[in-house]
Chains A and B, each alone.
Chain A
Amino acid sequence: QVQVQESGPGLVKPSETLSVTCTVSGGSISRYSWTWFRQPAGKGLEWIGRINTSGSTNYNPSLKSRVTLSIDTSKNQFSLQLSSVTAADTAVYYCASPVAVGGHWGQGTLVTVSS
């Protein structure tokens, strides 16, 4: 079955760019749309955006000006970049596979924004 796993920097300084990558295993990334979420500690889930293998994207309007999603089918990976980060961007970032292949979420990667 298709599994996903996030990898990220752990710590990012304010005003810098956060980058997180999701690696897909057990199947090809070359179909469907792939989605990013985040969850600040003790708070609810937030949908960040999705990308399909044609490169078409949808973004959360509240993050749209700072978010860029990309996909690398040769590596079976998709990535998230969030620019001009502040402490409010401190969260666990999750990627998830599409429902058609199980809708599995990764274990998440905690990204802390701090100087």
Chain B
Amino acid sequence: QSVLTQPPSVSAAPGQKVTISCSGSSSNIGNNHVSWYQQLPGTAPKLLIYDNDNRPSGIPDRFSGSKSGTSATLGITGLQTGDEADYYCGTWDSSLSSGVFGGGTKLTVL
């Protein structure tokens, strides 16, 4: 059972937009920054978004992040088949004094 809650799967057609939600509590998302990670099949995770809505160098602006209260959202526009991957949200939990993740969301581009 993950501390953060994500939908197990989402899907959309190429060119469309998709959002992935991440729900937590005041001890984690509510008072800490959220990161998002992309894990393509058979590869290591890659940092996609940090500090809620910032993209590392090299990450296209098709990827965006937002946070409101105890929830965060990853948005991906102009979907490509190469975006098919597992996406994870992560943050710090002040009560646990530990990093925590969501269970991951599998994105299928139909």
Contacts and interface: CB of A to CB of B under 8 A. Distances in A.
B99 A47 contact: yes
B46 to A, nearest CB: 7
Interface size class of A (residues with CB under 8 A): 20 to 34
Contacts of A50: 99
A99 B57 contact: no
A99 B51 contact: yes
B75 to A, nearest CB: 19
How would you classify the secondary structure of chain B's contact residues: helix, strand, loop or mixed?
strand
Nearest to B91: A47
Interface in A70-115: 94, 96, 99, 102-108
A50 B90 CA distance: 14
Contacts of B96: 61
A46 B35 contact: no
Given A44-B88, A45-B37, A47-B90, A61 B44 contact: no
B10 to A, nearest CB: 16
Contacts, number: 56
B46 A47 contact: no
Interface size class of B (residues with CB under 8 A): 20 to 34
A13 to B, nearest CB: 26
A45 B47 contact: no
Given A35-B99, A47-B98, A47-B99, A105 B47 contact: yes
Given A46-B101, A47-B98, 16 more contacts: A44-B102, A44-B103, A45-B37, A45-B39, A45-B45, A45-B88, A45-B104, A47-B99, A49-B98, A58-B97, A61-B97, A94-B45, A99-B47, A99-B50, A103-B47, A105-B47
Interface of B: 2, 35, 37, 39, 43-47, 50-51, 56-57, 88, 90, 96-104
